[in-house]
Amino acid sequence: MSLLSDLINLNLSEVTEKTIAEYIWIGGSGMDLRSKARTFDGPVSDPSKLPKWNYDGSSTMQAPGEDSEVILYPQAIFPDPFRRGNHILVMCDTYTPAGEPIPTNKRHNAAKIFSHPDVVAEEPWYGIEQEYTLLQKEVKWPLGWPVGGFPGPQGPYYCGIGADKAFGRDIVDAHYKACLYAGINISGINGEVMPGQWEFQVGPSVGISAGDELWVARYILERITEIAGVVVSFDPKPIQGDWNGAGAHTNYSTKSMRDEGGFEVIKKAIDKLGLRHKHHIAAYGEGNERRLTGKHETADINTFKWGVANRGASIRVGRDTEKAGKGYFEDRRPASNMDPYIVTSMIAETTLLWKP
């Protein structure tokens, strides 16, 4: 008699060429990921070769019941680390039957910005530092914390090791390897300042692919925590008090910033970001005011400032960039629950297209 684990791990390539495609999309809250699967006769590697599909938008807060059909447009394909073989994950965006992007489809506008000739010419690179918190499923309290109580103060947990400092490393490492399998340009992981909080980094990724890769990395993380019986939270301040919040620091450079004399280009770009500070803050994640307090390695939400190696600034420039006279900068304002399509395209729009 086969065990459930045996059936889950069946190698379909031994008996059929059919492949499974898991269509992924963003639900009505802007943070809830949804997915469903369908079968194809053989391997598919080009999203344009995949058919559009539909779903019940009234069940995802994206359409009324009397006109509930929402259409999925396949946009990016990744190898599936759960089913493996030729099976794939498909990142989609969402449209009405008439072909109009629905309000929660933020990818559509981002793709228009990234296809602008002035943006294409500058090859914008992104590196996104996604922080998150692992929670105990039944009580929604951080993993490793005593139920209803608190661990020792922050200090030993950042990049810490040991059973009393690192909680959930098996999940974190499984996610790391699964993302590499999926072809996501995940560049690292580390334990964060608050116990039970972790970070992974995606990038450098160019243009719209940064958003696709981060959303699929989030999807893979949620699937792994589902298996592990743990809840992942992207709340920017999951625990009130003297505990670090969770952000999604976004590192950015353009071709001109990476070339000789790029530091002057960086400074001009930062000036433009400062002029649109409120515009960016409004789009950088819900609940971010609980995180951006001027404490715990943040700048106050109402203040814009930048500095070299200053983790209390809105924008941080690294020492290496200052020394080389070229490189990149880090926007430290985005919250952990930000939409990477919005944040990456907005940074490109402000620095490359917007005229003060």
Mean pLDDT over 222-242 rounds to 96
At 24 the pLDDT is 98
Weakest-pLDDT range from 219-233, 289-303, 325-339: 289-303
Would you say residue 193 has pLDDT above 80? Answer: yes
Would you say residue 5 has pLDDT above 90? Answer: no
At 296 the pLDDT is 83
pLDDT in tens, 161-185: 999 999 999 999 999 999 999 999 9
pLDDT in tens, 76-130: 999 999 999 999 999 999 999 999 999 999 999 999 999 999 999 999 999 999 9
At 65 the pLDDT is 87
Convert the chain into a string of H (helix), E (strand) and C (coil): CCCHHHHHCCCHHHCCCCEEEEEEEECCCCCCEEEEEEEECCCCCCHHHCCCEEEEHHHCCCCCHHHCEEEEEEEEEEECCCCCCCCEEEEEEEECCCCCECCCCCHHHHHHHHCCHHHHCCCCEEEEEEEEEEEECCCCEECCCCCCCCCCCCCCCCCCCCCCCCCCHHHHHHHHHHHHHCCCCEEEEEECCCCCEEEEEEEEEECHHHHHHHHHHHHHHHHHHHHHCEEEECCCCCCCCCCCCCEEEEEEECHHHHCCCHHHHHHHHHHHHHHCHHHHHCCCCCCHHHCCECCCCCCECCCCCEEECCCCCCEEECHHHHHHCCCCEEECCCECCCCHHHHHHHHHHHHHHCCC
pLDDT in tens, 195-209: 999 999 999 999 999
Mean pLDDT over 223-235 rounds to 97
pLDDT in tens, 11-62: 898 899 999 999 999 999 999 999 999 999 999 999 999 999 999 999 999 9
Would you say residue 1 has pLDDT above 80? Answer: no
Q: How confident is the model at residue 148 (pLDDT cuts 50, 70, 90)?
A: confident
At 57 the pLDDT is 96
- Percentage of residues in the chain having pLDDT higher than 90: 92
At 312 the pLDDT is 85
Summary mean pLDDT of the chain: 96
